[in-house]
Chains A and B, each alone.
Chain A
């Protein structure tokens, strides 16, 4: 684990079935500097193995914009893993 002084804190949001799997709507998590969204997801997939099967059917957002999975995170970012949308 990185020490507190070296880590960045981001907010992670869960929706739909991901919220049910994670058992929460959001949490803050400390990451190593230069961590990207893919590595953040991998961390959750190791904590909640059921998540892994959904990886290919998710899109990532950072600060409320759709972004590539290799987006590097910064302190204070708000990240979400979004299932296929079904509004309307």
Chain B
């Protein structure tokens, strides 16, 4: 099942507007909304972070985010989903990812929101570079699982 067209799934360069997204996601038939607001921390492994830059394989990242949203509707009795990830340079405290899920009851909203951020972090092709006073590093990440090799493996030449 595809995600309902009423969901919001986006990659954006401009700051994320949490209030607008929350207002959109909650409906009168809902009794709960769970929000995950991920934002830029001022330190990483005991180093002071100056800012972050995010980049993405944009069409694939958006498709993967939309797959996650569709999966939420299949797995959990929820109403609406917003999943927005920001790209480019982000300053300390700015929201990098915002996920809101509404539902009639809280359990589904909690479960779906947790599933959404956990799955995003290990499957969506987005990369973060951390900038410090004395240099920059690509953040450690999660390697997405790919289908295993098919039987028609050709030996390496």
Contact between A83 and B154, CB atoms less than 8 A apart:
no
Q: Report A73-88 CB contacts with B as 1/0, cut-off 8 Å.
A: 0000000101111111
Contact between B146 and A87, CB atoms less than 8 A apart:
no
A13 on interface, CB distance cutoff 8 Å: yes
Contact between A85 and B126, CB atoms less than 8 A apart:
yes
How many Å lie between the Cα of A39 and that of B125 in the bound state?
23
Q: Report B39-59 CB contacts with A as 1/0, cut-off 8 Å.
A: 000000000000000111101
Please report the total number of B residues contacting A with Cβ < 8 Å: 41
Contact between B128 and A87, CB atoms less than 8 A apart:
yes
Q: Given A83-B127, A86-B141, A87-B97: A13 and B146 within 8 A (CB)?
A: no
- List of B residues within 8 angstroms of A30 by Cβ: none
How many Å lie between the Cα of A45 and that of B154 in the bound state?
19
- List of A residues within 8 angstroms of B123 by Cβ: 85
A67 on interface, CB distance cutoff 8 Å: yes
How many Å lie between the Cα of A68 and that of B146 in the bound state?
6
Contact count band on A: 20 to 34
Interface core residue of A59, A70, A85 (most chain B CB under 10 Å): A85
Contact between A67 and B146, CB atoms less than 8 A apart:
yes
Contact partner, A85, options B127, B129, B150, B154, Cβ 8 Å: B127
Beyond contacts A69-B149, A82-B144, A87-B128: 8 other A-B pairs, Cβ-Cβ < 8 A, are A66-B144, A68-B148, A70-B152, A80-B60, A83-B138, A86-B127, A87-B56, A87-B120
Chain B contacts to A: CB under 8 angstroms: 38, 54-57, 59-61, 63, 85, 96-97, 117, 120-129, 138-150, 152-154, 156-157
